Amino acid sequence: MSKNNRNDTYKPSWVPEQDDDAFACRVMKGVKGGHDGTMGTQDVKLAHTRSLPQRRILRVPDYIEGVAAGDRVILSRAITLVESNAPRHFKAAQQVIQGLLPRTGKALRIGITGVPGAGKSTFIEAFGTMLAEEGYKVAVLAVDPTSSVTKGSILGDKTRMEGLTKHPNAFVRPSPAGGTLGGVARKSRETMLLCEAAGYDVILVETVGVGQSETTVRSMVDFFMLVVLTGAGDELQGIKKGIMELADAIVVNKADGDNLPRAKVARGDYDRMIDYIRPATEHWRTKAMLCSAIKKTGLKELWETMREFEQITKEKGVFQQRRQEQTLSWVRSMIDEHLHTIFFQNPVVKARIPEVQEAVLGGKISPSQAVTELVDVFDQSALR
């Protein structure tokens, strides 16, 4: 081996000072060009080292600063923190939200519901893009307690909101996975606050029109719209009156092509029905409207309606009052959730449950006695 080929710059510490060619271990210079048919080592950059910047560990002040500065990566990570079920993340998440609270509350919060297939996601894509193009910053969230089971909506939304997802003024976040509706709701509310603190002006919350999720979303937004479809003569059958009573606007979607005349008739029918239902918001008559998420018609009118709603309800004080009530009901539902958790996680209660259950099923004690017994056990263990 020639001395010239040695790389003395990288001489390891264990190489003797006065080494000679007899010493077998030394660092050699790498070859420049391809040998043995491989690419030159100098030119090869490992793909994974390029595309994965090191994930910096963020502390509470980093999250607060990043979100406040509108940094989307940090916003995403803050949402992940909020969505975490780990108790150690819960405390940090609450500190982040606490720190950002003064920056929240400025967005218009809009809830969108409707039966599966009504076109909610397609509507959000079209409507959100229109607003983003106008310069508004738009955040899209979903409340879907079923998505963790079916995965349906999340997959659907990824393809249906492709344009919006890429828009620099938009931020799309799928539903937090898993858990009870209460858990999903808390996470979505907190996500909404984070988005507001990051400077988003309009928050769109999509929810599937099944179960309790409409009521939950209604309790976190200012304006609530129900997306409906025309059917073969029975268009009003499928919609429960209770859901109509939550809506500030009933929007007949897919008002395009052959369906347009039917959609117009349906709009008229809904408009007449509105007189017979309780309005969702004081000083506001629920509006029946037409739109086509695909043809992008009726979207401007809908936005004007929302702004009008905001203006009127703010003037009348209804807007602020609703937000205050929502905050208080949020506190109450968090207390419910918290008590539920500490009760069922309590080791003494946990240990006692099987025995009490058996006693109830065996007819030895009544359900209310069972409750009293478990609550007593809980109380005693809490006092200790």
Ligand X SMILES: Nc1nc2c(ncn2[C@@H]2O[C@H](COP(=O)(O)OP(=O)(O)OP(=O)(O)O)[C@@H](O)[C@H]2O)c(=O)[nH]1
Please enumerate, as own/partner, the contacts of 67-72 that have beta carbons within 8 Å and a separation of 24 or more.
67/96, 67/100, 67/194, 67/197, 67/198, 68/100, 68/103, 68/197, 68/198, 70/198, 70/199, 71/198, 72/171, 72/198
Contact call for residue 153 and ligand X (CB under 6 A): yes
Nearer CB in complex with ligand X: 66/114: 114
| Count of residues that interact with ligand X, criterion CB under 6 A | 18
Distance CA 181, CA 217 (A): 10
Show contacts with Mg ion in window 126-155 (CB under 5 A).
153
Nearer CB in complex with Mg ion: 213/281: 213
Distance CA 146, CA 142 (A): 11
| Count of residues that interact with Mg ion, criterion CB under 5 A | 3
Contact call for residue 208 and ligand X (CB under 6 A): yes
Contact call for residue 254 and ligand X (CB under 6 A): yes
Distance CA 12, CA 384 (A): 63
Place of tokens 């007189």: 275
Beta carbons of 274 and 286 less than 8 angstroms apart: yes
Which span (64-72, 103-111, 118-126, 190-198) binds ligand X, by CB under 6 A?
A: 118-126
71 binds, among ligand X, Mg ion, none (CB under 5 to 8 A by kind): none
113 binds, among ligand X, Mg ion, none (CB under 5 to 8 A by kind): none
Q: Which of 67, 110, 121, 230 binds Mg ion (CB under 5 A)?
A: 121
Q: What is the x/- site pattern for ligand X, positions 299-338, by CB under 6 A?
A: ----------------------------------------
Contact call for residue 268 and ligand X (CB under 6 A): no
254 binds, among ligand X, Mg ion, none (CB under 5 to 8 A by kind): ligand X
Q: Is 241 exposed, middle or buried (0-12, 13-18, 19+ CB in 10 A)?
A: exposed
SS3 355: helix
The DSSP secondary structure of 131-154, one letter per residue, reads HHHTT--EEEEEE-TTHHHH-HHH
Distance CA 253, CA 47 (A): 46
Contact call for residue 147 and ligand X (CB under 6 A): no
Which span (27-35, 86-94, 213-221, 251-259) binds ligand X, by CB under 6 A?
A: 251-259
Q: Which of 75, 293, 356, 374 binds ligand X (CB under 6 A)?
A: 293
Distance CA 27, CA 7 (A): 6
Contact call for residue 253 and ligand X (CB under 6 A): yes
Distance CA 200, CA 214 (A): 23
Nearer CB in complex with ligand X: 230/286: 230
CA 382 and chain centroid, separation: 35
Which span (23-31, 289-297, 333-341, 343-351) binds ligand X, by CB under 6 A?
A: 289-297
Contact call for residue 261 and ligand X (CB under 6 A): no
Nearer CB in complex with ligand X: 95/215: 215
Compute the least distance from the CB of residue 209 to Mg ion, in Å: 10
* CA triple 336-337-339, angle to 5 deg: 65
Give, for 95, the enclosing helix (H) or strand (E).
helix 87-100
Distance CA 277, CA 259 (A): 26
Q: Which of 230, 292, 305, 313 binds ligand X (CB under 6 A)?
A: 292
Which span (216-224, 230-238, 271-279, 291-299) binds ligand X, by CB under 6 A?
A: 291-299
Please report, as ranges, the residues that interact with ligand X according to CB under 6 A.
Answer: 114, 116-122, 153, 156, 160, 208, 253-254, 256, 292-294
